[in-house]
Amino acid sequence: MSENKKIVIAVDGHSSCGKSTLAKALASRLNYAYIDTGAMYRAVTLYGLRNNLIAEGKVDEADLTAQLHQIKITFRYSEAAGKSETYLNGENVEEEIRQLPVSRSVSPVATIGEVRKHLVALQQEMGKNKGIVMDGRDIGTVVFPDAELKIYMTASPEVRAQRRYDELKAKGEDISFEEIKANVIERDYIDENREESPLRQADDAIVLDNSYFTPEEQLDWAFEKVMERLNRNGN
């Protein structure tokens, strides 16, 4: 795919609905860069937890904001894992940021205006040359409002909770389905009702309810939408 055919693809949607799975696969098929913005917020959250800036769901906003300049987030491709992994200040934290302690606290951290402003600036810099697939909560509405293709993903809370439950159980974590479901519903509420960049469907986004899609089916669906956009743009 030549340089003049590269576009920005924004994938937004609810937690645990497979945004990253789709975005990674789509980026691989297109030979685009993949940016996991959720991992960036999770890395900031992990930093806060490690430095006692978050306790019992309460975030010390002033101190966390003051320390943002000390938080360096990078992505490196792992040949062994076959995927891009998240690094916090040089340490691979890909597994730790996916665990429940971070999941419980990431939504409150993501409501902090200065955190969002800081990370959005980083994300926009990453995408300035196009040829990227970026997933998150506000990519099509705030980070890249002019993205050529916007996909809004969702699935029922029960389906999303089951997926997350299966994922964590496979990693050996002792967690109940009801606790996971409660976390999914709580995160939906926080994401949709926060003051800073709430989760919402962009007016020009295409909705993908993947409750009953396989990963292969949703990838084919998304790839078809990309081709439609490229053809529509005369590329």
Annotated binding site for ATP: 13-21
Query: Looking at this protein, which amino acid is placed at residue 175?
Result: I
DSSP 84: E
DSSP 196: S
Positions at the binding site:
13-21
DSSP 4: G
Nearest to 149 by CA among 221, 214, 33, 230: 230
Q: Determine contact, residues 169/177, Cβ cutoff 8 Å.
A: no
Distance, in Å, from the CA atom of 229 to the CA atom of 130, rounded to the nearest integer, reads: 14
- The residues near 99 (Cβ < 8 Å, ≥ 6 apart) are 168, 173
Q: What is the 3-state secondary structure (H, E, C) of 188-202?
A: HHHHHHCCCCCCCCC
- The residues near 160 (Cβ < 8 Å, ≥ 6 apart) are 14, 15, 16, 17, 184
